[in-house]
Amino acid sequence: MALEARLRLPLAGPTPATAFLSGSNPKPSHISFSLKPTSTSLSAANAPPIVVVGSANADIYVEVDRLPLVGETVAASAGHSLAGGKGANQAACGGRLALGPTYLVARVGDDANGRLLEGALADAGGVRLDRVARAPGAPSGHAVVMLMPDGQNSIIIVGGANMEGWAPEVDPEDLDLIRQAGVLLLQREIPDWVNIQVAQAAKGAGVPVILDAGGMDAPVPRELLELVDIFSPNETELARLTGMPTETFEQISQAAGACHKMGVKEVLVKLGSQGSALFVEGEEPIRQAIIPAAEVVDTTGAGDTFTSAFAVALVEGKPKKECMKFAAAAASLCVRVKGAIPSMPDRKTVMSLLESVQDE
């Protein structure tokens, strides 16, 4: 399928980021984050790009008091359209938090929703869109988000160009970009074969791969899992993909162990109100509590914010415990605003929240 030509922009140079994925996990008694890079840290001038390959959806929000029963019709108190999709969400978050550039590799339709997505991502700031292509003949992906008063949601996805807009072989320029990345972020709202191709390119270049389990309700191909450095499900996804219960932390630990046996060395589990946990094969789990929000308005995009913020801190060379706290702060800020992309916090706000937590 022919895709429209895209502007070629200069990329940041490669960085050997694989060192961040192994070794011991320092546990400092006091975790500090600096708004200004030190002389030995990354800066905007030398930070490698974050590359997100994934979906972009027009999210149709409907606010309801409760979900309808089978055969029932319920009235929504409000409805509106916003840009979303796990790939776009993670790119928007990276664009606001990362020191270096964040690229989104995605497919949208040549339609009104596609233009909505392009405009929203441009407005989000920090996201390079020259690898986003319009796919003729396929509509933009969209989703229906049923938002309840407590901020919880249920989502139905229509894949559209996310699933149908890819050529049989991933564009060589996209693969070249991935090989120069500091980290590659993937999700499961695009075809598994696309994820496999781009993960192979990353793996061959020593670029760490993070796979967010959110998306299609189907087993993850073993071929893909073996290319992933960090697998990041929530507890529901972990239960579905392993066939194991995840009601208690011990059960979650056992399910994470099953993922280790599938070839994934690190499993980063998002636990909602219980925080998060990182299970590194052969090591003790690292747990991170949530940073409470004064008011939970909308949880849409909170998991994507967490995963992307973790990746941002990882590229900067922070220890895993610090990566998790940085991600927890970003997710805490995300749930305070309605909409996925509009809720993504900027770096200064995340740092401010971390400083206030440390002062308590």
- Catalytic residue numbers read 304
23 labeled part of a ligand binding site: no
What are the structure tokens assigned to 342, written together?
Answer: 């509009």
243 labeled part of a ligand binding site: no
45: DSSP letter: T
State the burial class of residue 13 (Cβ atoms within 10 Å of its Cβ: 0-12, 13-18, 19+): exposed
300 labeled part of a ligand binding site: yes
Q: Check the CA dihedral 202-203-209-213 and report its sign.
A: positive
206 labeled part of a ligand binding site: no
The torsion region of residue 206 among left (phi > 0), alpha (psi -120 to 50) and beta comes to left
State how far the Cα of 86 lies from the Cα of 92, in Å rounded to an integer. Answer: 10
232 labeled part of a ligand binding site: no
State the burial class of residue 40 (Cβ atoms within 10 Å of its Cβ: 0-12, 13-18, 19+): exposed
41 labeled part of a ligand binding site: no
224 labeled part of a ligand binding site: no
32 labeled part of a ligand binding site: no
Q: Angle formed by the axes of helices 249-261 and 235-242, to 10°?
A: 50
State how far the Cα of 168 lies from the Cα of 175, in Å rounded to an integer. Answer: 14
- DSSP-derived secondary structure for 302-357: HHHHHHHHHHHHHHTT--HHHHHHHHHHHHHHHTTSSSSGGGPPPHHHHHHHHHHH
58 labeled part of a ligand binding site: yes
89 labeled part of a ligand binding site: yes
87 labeled part of a ligand binding site: yes
195 labeled part of a ligand binding site: no
59 labeled part of a ligand binding site: yes
85 labeled part of a ligand binding site: yes
**Residues with Cβ < 8 Å from 164, sequence gap 6 or more?**
135, 137, 138
- Report whether 231 contacts 260 (CB < 8 A): no
State how far the Cα of 284 lies from the Cα of 303, in Å rounded to an integer. Answer: 23
How many residues are given for the chain? 360
What are the structure tokens assigned to 142, written together?
Answer: 């969209």
- Report whether 271 contacts 306 (CB < 8 A): no
274 labeled part of a ligand binding site: yes
303 labeled part of a ligand binding site: yes
183 labeled part of a ligand binding site: no
339 labeled part of a ligand binding site: yes
Which residues are known binding-site members? Answer: 57-59, 85-89, 189, 234, 270-275, 298, 300, 303-304, 334, 337, 339, 343
Which residues are known binding-site members for substrate? Answer: 57-59, 85-89, 189, 304
Which residues are known binding-site members for ATP? Answer: 234, 270-275, 303-304
